[in-house]
Structure 1
């Protein structure tokens, strides 16, 4: 008599092999998984470790980007989504391998007053040898969806890169606005002191003194509001870097010199470059190919399949053992599915049209993004140059008006007007510099070329 435990032993062996395989990566999906988003993956030097804490030195734009890519939860989220899709590629490849199933059972039953014990075991190897192309289509769909996930990850990294720069430059600008409004408050106080001195000696009217007092109060209010906006900007910067909004941050001072405002490139060439480089366009194109593969998959699911199965069996009833085996071929012919396949194919084909329309819409949006960013940068460049002259002339006008008023040949309205114009010019200068830095980064992101090379001049002395 054959050993009745032999089938059970085979079953347990197969189970052990299956459990062991779970911990492995037999299809090497780790190789096709996109790398985790880090500064190094975005073009940072390979020897720079991933930043986890705010540096002790004043924060630079590069530091802000480093911390964002290392700590912002979106980087973990998008990388996890890419790993999910890489695992789906492994699932699609697993369908090509045979399956091994084990089954054991035991029962006790009564017949004519007697009790009988029965037990059985079976080990079945099954293999789908023909499926009309369903597995190939499913694998192609999974690979295209992985390509879409990888491109989406790249786009998310660039979006976070831009968000970090926007938050950093905004924080810098609001801090500069605090300095500007503080200086405007000092000038307004000087004007008030001059008006009060003239009023005390009887050469100025009470109206002059009240106008100067009002201007000083307004300047103080502007400074208080600027300080609040600066605190909010620092909170937004800490948030995008993955820290609590109340984190204490110290920023480097803005550069004393003007940035290099030269930018001479044809906008048509930039749009053409964006159509090649934009990660979200690559993701949309992969989504179209995945939808096309899904049509093939749905069509194949309504076609014949052929499967093989084999394996040993063992049964024992009332101490009588029976050993055997099975070898079978199963042909599945879907003759009528209630039009289920027909409508599934129609839905899949319509989904291809949806993805194709989304791709065309995104291409138009990319062209618009590049156009608007280019025009905004051009405007910011011209504004930046103009505000330099504006501040210089406003400073000269304010000095002349103050001197004339102290000398008794000018009016307090002339002085307050000049001071207001100077404060406005300084704020416009700050806003123009902020716009230039932000729109430069926005244009690079709209083209799909936003990386650390944009910040290389900053590494040599600029923020």
Structure 2
């Protein structure tokens, strides 16, 4: 018996020593974890290299003997290269603007992010409302405890071994019955935040519709510039043919031919630039849609779209009508209401709270000592309590919370005013932009008509020996500039009209851009 007790004591002491060793080892691990980082600001990090050194010898002999280079490349991860599948498209189909907007609405991650944020805000309302209901919890605790106690008996040290076992289970209820409207204020604030999130979800779709529309028109302008560059190249070659024919007939000179060749080369360069701009505009359209940049689809031309009529509604009436449906203005107003509810919650935080608590518990246990019979017992208990809590002193925390909530209300009002002013400014600027764009298009149209007549006359005169190569090439360049100005003005007018609809809060569906052209 004594030998057994000594062995138990040694085992207990050995366990304590092992705990100490493990604790020291864990502390050392925490300190040594710093070796996972690079050893210095100038040394690269390499996976699996705890020294931080990753100097690789450079094979370039021009670096001199012993030269080395720091390689800051990282180990790749194939998982990040998995791209989402492209949207389903029909081969050979020419997609109109409404169809492009539909593809964007289904695939752009921006709207999905706004949707998740709206869902999170809605769940926050449910969490706040759940505080009105009681909280019921179940608990269970069980365990075993062994104890070795040294006992001196007749000059001999012995050890008394005792074992205690027990299990206790309980069900508890907590219910806040009355809190002077604090929870109601929190629910109101959560509802206003959810409203703002829902409004901004629709706003994200409005922004998406506008972005796709804007880049669609810009892509159309780029395609028109490409067509103009092709036509200009043909015109320049026509001038070159005339210069060559004049030289063969003895009416022209090699200088005129050289000038014509220079004009052709300039037109070819402009065509290359226009082609690059067309590719960039196409990528901008895909980016606005939120689809893969490798997607290849055919897009309907926007170069011949009719322009909208100028807005005839009085500016003040238009602004008032728009403010009531602008998502950012509505969301800012909801923020005011949420912050006001926060003030009510802060005020209620300093008032008493009445609660109900209850519990049902059962337990069983046993006690066993060496050489003695086992003692066991079972217990149960139930109870219901009604109480109240009243804050007396908290070092000013609740008062500070109230002042902070009131400050947030003031800030929300200021933000709302700022949002209103920016919205009105955007409307005025957008209205002026539409007017200016339409006037620019009219002027560019007249310029193009005049430049076309000038080019035709200059080319005929040069062919018939009545004009100069300089006048013909100048007319060619002037016609190119006029046509490009007209294409840019056409796209700018379409974009300006779309922007006006967007800032007025009217860019709400895939059909909105086409409806603008019917006004």
Q: TM-score, normalised by structure 2?
A: 0.76
Is residue 75 from structure 1 mapped to residue 75 from structure 2 by the alignment? no
What is the distance in 2 between the residues matched to 1:329 and 1:172?
A: 73
Cα distance in 2 for residues equivalent to 1:54 and 1:429? 33
Structure with the largest fraction of strand:
2
Distance 1:103 1:291 in 2: 38
**Given the superposition, is the C-alpha separation of residues 255 and 227 from structure 1 closer, same or farther in structure 2, using an over 3 Å criterion?**
closer
Report the equivalent of 1:289.
337
Cα offset, 1:127, TM superposition: 0.4
Q: Cα–Cα, structure 1 residues 457 and 325, in superposed 2: closer, same or farther, change >3 Å?
A: closer
Alignment pair present for 1:99 and 2:156: no
Tell me: CA distance 1:382–1:219, structure 2 relative to 1, closer, same or farther (3 Å).
Answer: same
Cα distance between partner residues in 1 of 2:314 and 2:135: 59
Q: 2:87, 2:291 within 8 Å by CA — same for their partners in 1?
A: no
Unaligned ranges ≥5, structure 1: 1-50
1:382 matches 2:439: yes
State how 1:196-215 maps to structure 2 within 5 Å.
Answer: 196-215=244-263
- The whole-number CA distance in structure 2 between the counterparts of 1:339 and 1:260 is 62
Matches within 5 A, 1:168-187: 168-187=216-235
Gaps in structure 2 of 5+ consecutive residues: 1-85, 148-159, 367-375
The offset of 1:445, in angstroms, is 0.6
Q: Which residue of 2 aligns with 1:226?
A: 274
Verify: 1:367 aligned to 2:420, yes or no: no
Contact 1:162 / 1:445 at 8 angstroms: preserved in 2?
A: yes
Counterparts of 1:116-135 in structure 2 under 5 Å? 116-135=164-183
Task: Answer with 120-129 or 91-100: which moved more.
Answer: 120-129
| Structure 2 residue matching 1:204: 3-state secondary structure | coil
| Contact 1:274/1:366 (8 A) holds in 2 | no
Q: Is structure 2 residue 318 aligned with structure 1 residue 270?
A: yes
Q: Secondary structure at the match of 1:280?
A: helix
Structure 1 Cα separation of the partners of residues 228 and 303 of structure 2: 15
Distance in 1 (CA, whole Å) between partners of 2:452 and 2:89 is 38
Q: How many residues align?
A: 410
Give the one of 101, 108, 126 matched to 1:90.
Answer: 126
- The DSSP-based 3-state class of the residue aligned with 1:216 is helix
- C-alpha RMSD of matched pairs (Å): 2.0
Q: Contact 2:226/2:278 (CA < 8 Å) preserved in 1?
A: yes
Radius of gyration: which is bigger? 2
Q: Which moved more, 1:247-256 or 1:227-236?
A: 247-256
| Secondary structure of 2:298's aligned partner | coil
Matching residue of 2:481: 424
Residue 110 of structure 1 deviates from its aligned partner by 4.9
Match of 1:339 in 2: 396
Q: How far does residue 458 in structure 1 lie from its aligned partner after superposition?
A: 9.1
Deviation at residue 206 of structure 1 after TM alignment: 3.4
Give the Å deviation of 1:274. Answer: 1.7
Distance 1:456 1:203, change over 3 A: closer
Q: Partner residue of 2:215?
A: 167
Cα distance in 2 between the residues matched to 1:64 and 1:266? 33
Decide which of 402, 420, 423 is 2:459's aligned counterpart: 402
Cα contact 1:313–1:326 (8 A) shared by 2:
no
| Contact 2:210/2:498 (<8 A) preserved | yes
TM-score w.r.t. length of structure 1: 0.84
- The 1-side partners of 2:461 and 2:411 are apart by 71
- Specify the alignment match of 1:139 in structure 2: 187
Q: Select between 101-110 and 157-166 the one with higher mean Cα deviation.
A: 101-110
How far apart, CA to CA, are the structure 2 residues paired with 1:346 and 1:431? 55
**Closer/same/farther in 2, CA of residues 412 and 433 from structure 1, 3 Å limit:** same
